[in-house]
A and B are shown apart, each in its own frame.
Chain A
Amino acid sequence: MLANEVALPQSALSFSPERPARSRSTTPHDEDLIVAAQKGDRAAFSRLYAGYAPMVHGILLARVPRDEVEDLLQDVFLTAMKRLSSLRDPRSFGAWLATVTRNRANDYHRAPHGSELPDQIPSPRPVETEAWLVMRAIRSLPEAYHETMMLRLVEGMTGPEISARTGLTEGSVRVNLHRGMAMLRDALAKKAV
């Protein structure tokens, strides 16, 4: 049930009925950049990279080990660049990029990347800090919430920004944030973090 709340239809949300049923995942300025990038404008794509990297970073942080995030982030943008010509509606770029990112994270877990080196090579420094414990608690939240919580608490994005970037409705983001935060508080209280 919780997982279905990632993209609640606007009609199900009583506290913001005036908002549109579906968010655009880009701004008009981004749309110009996307169109330019589709035509091969390198500078335009670099600006999209800078603008959307926090979203991609947050989604990856929620799903893969931290050490892998930076490499996978670059993979995601290189994949996006190669497939950008297949994107028909520039307004859905953010949602499309979020899907590319989730797919890349899924591919990471499917790939036999641990065959040459063990999954757990001793870390060069202690990792069980309070921050690490909080990160683990966020990752353990239901899928519907951990991504949104990561974007808000780690990447520092506001709810409207998360909505604008990911294509989720503002209502869905609001629900994910509030329920996710409540669950996170419970989890942290149990662990006394």
Chain B
Amino acid sequence: MSGHDNEYLWDKSGPVDPEIQRLEMLLEPYRCGNLPPLPLPKRRAWLFLPPFVAAGAVAAVVLMVSVWFVLRGIRAQTWTVSVLAGEGRLGARVLSGSARLHAGDVFETGADATARIRMPVGRLEVEPNTSLRLIESKRNQQRLSLLRGTIHARVTSPPRVFIVDTPSAVATDLGCAYTLHVDPSGDGLLRVTHGWIELEWRGRGSLVPTGAVAVMRAGLGPGTPFFEDSSEAFRGALAAYDFSAGALANVLKTASPHDAISLLNLVRNVSASRRGDVYDTLARLVPPPAGANRDSALAGDPHALDPWWPAVGIAHGPGH
């Protein structure tokens, strides 16, 4: 290109400038694509009134709406799905743009499709070959079921508002970002990139902090969380204990201080008769912090382990 005579750059007339054309094609994926529906208020004529009139109207509306919220307690929340690439399906309908999701809707991405779901409490990036159903969207609970595939969640709500059901565990957000995968067999994998997730299945629960992963098995529930850079011996012993009736002793024997978050979860989940063994291994690997109380932990006090989380390198315990 050369100065002011490049008419292709100016208005796409004249000879095509190959480099500019290459950049246009390269950057096309960044272009403004399918627009999500603009969430216009249902009655909005007041927005266009002179400010002093609008202010009065606003005050009246705020009062009425506040009363309505107090009486109702719960209100429906809007979810919007936007297909970013390829095609998705919303129920029986092929979707290539954006649409609202309602409770009960099933959304699926094809093999080449990706999508983004904007929720009242954050957003989800949806990978190809994913199927999910919106269960409910209320002020105090946003819940979906991940039937198969992969989602990347970034959640901004207070803890315990956003919940994902999977065939092998219920994942409750405690303020975080994470990736959740469910394969066609119902097995799954959770990887937490920030914050905490609580996994629960038939009374068995795990707390998964930043950087940790948890394997889930259909019919067996979630395994004990661990760091992926733990030793192979420890990970193998843990998997055997969680899903194949392997010996707890092997887990304790191969644990290192780096595995303290796994041991903290095990203290919660092993039988009462083995709790002392796990606690003592933990205390041997990591000096007990001020406030730690063995008797309370062995008695199953849910808060007895709170002082341990900072001691094992987790800045804040779950729910903080």
Contacts and interface: CB of A to CB of B under 8 A. Distances in A.
Contacts, number: 117
B40 A159 contact: no
A154 B28 CA distance: 6
B48 A38 contact: yes
Contacts of A155: 31-32
Given A153-B27, A155-B32, A178 B194 contact: no
A160 B9 CA distance: 11
A185 B6 CA distance: 14
A79 to B, nearest CB: 11
Contacts of A46: 38, 40
Contacts of A116: 156, 175
A187 B217 CA distance: 51
A45 interface: yes
Contacts of A19: none
A82 B35 contact: no
Interface in B24-38: 24, 26-32, 35-36, 38
Say what secondary structure dominates the interface of chain B.
Answer: mixed
Interface residues of A, number: 51
A40 B45 contact: yes
Given A116-B156, A159-B10, A181-B20, A134 B36 contact: no
Contacts of A61: 30
B303 interface: no
Interface string B1-22: 1011010011110000001100
A193 to B, nearest CB: 9
Contact of A122 (B23, B39, B47, B193): B193
Contacts of B294: none
B118 A57 contact: no
A130 B27 CA distance: 9
Interface string B120-162: 0001010100000000000000000000000010101000000
B36 A70 contact: yes
Given A40-B45, A42-B40, A155-B31, A130 B12 contact: no
Interface of B: 1, 3-4, 6, 9-12, 19-20, 23-24, 26-32, 35-36, 38-40, 44-45, 47-51, 54, 82, 116, 118, 123, 125, 127, 152, 154, 156, 175-177, 179, 193-195
7 contacts: A42-B44, A70-B82, A84-B48, A85-B47, A85-B49, A117-B154, A153-B27
Given A131-B26, A154-B30, 5 more contacts: A84-B48, A85-B50, A117-B195, A153-B20, A178-B6
